[in-house]
């Protein structure tokens, strides 16, 4: 009888560990990105792929995936703007959301932040972005140099180095 309880408890602990890892991975580790499949739509309705937008940049690109309803996103953007102005002013920042255009571009006009905002397709969750904000720093040759789910310390030496050296 003791052996069956030990086995049952062991199986439960293994299942709990697997479930915990899955949840952590889903919500705290930024997924890879299908650059050619992601389509950006600007405020005028013009469309192009994320890959084309990155190719057109002169330096590393910061991709900020967020939602208009996300309070963490609203707090993060001014910090990103301040750091960009101070430490890496040549770097392009794209704010990306899969919400309907009126919400995305309403967020842009209400934010007072002059980064380009884009509505994207397909949906964020179709390629694994399910928590906000999710941020990537991408090189011009599509290498993911940095990724983070949640707040980024934009004035950290690591982040500044990654951006300015690429």
* Arithmetic mean of pLDDT, 7-31: 51
Q: What is the mean pLDDT of residues 24-28?
A: 44
Tokens of 116: 């380009």
The tens digit of pLDDT for each residue in 55-78 reads: 998 889 999 999 999 999 999 999
**SS3 assignment, position 124:** helix
Q: What is the pTM of this model?
A: 0.80
């Amino acid at each position: 009888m003791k052996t069956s309880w030990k086995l049952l408890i062991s199986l439960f602990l293994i299942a709990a560990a697997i479930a915990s890892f899955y949840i952590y991975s889903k919500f705290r580790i930024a997924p890879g990105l299908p650059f050619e499949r992601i389509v950006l739509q600007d405020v005028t309705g013009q469309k192009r792929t994320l890959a084309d937008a990155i190719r057109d940049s002169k330096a590393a690109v910061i991709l900020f995936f967020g939602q208009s309803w996300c309070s963490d996103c609203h707090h993060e953007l001014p910090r990103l703007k301040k750091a960009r102005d101070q430490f890496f002013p040549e770097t392009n920042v794209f704010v990306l959301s899969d919400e309907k255009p009126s919400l995305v571009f309403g967020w842009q006009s209400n934010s007072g932040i002059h980064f380009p905002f884009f509505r994207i397709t397909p949906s964020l969750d179709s390629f694994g972005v399910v928590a906000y904000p999710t941020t990537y720093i991408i090189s011009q040759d599509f290498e993911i140099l940095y990724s983070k789910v949640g707040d980024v310390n934009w004035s950290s030496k690591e982040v500044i180095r990654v951006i300015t050296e690429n």
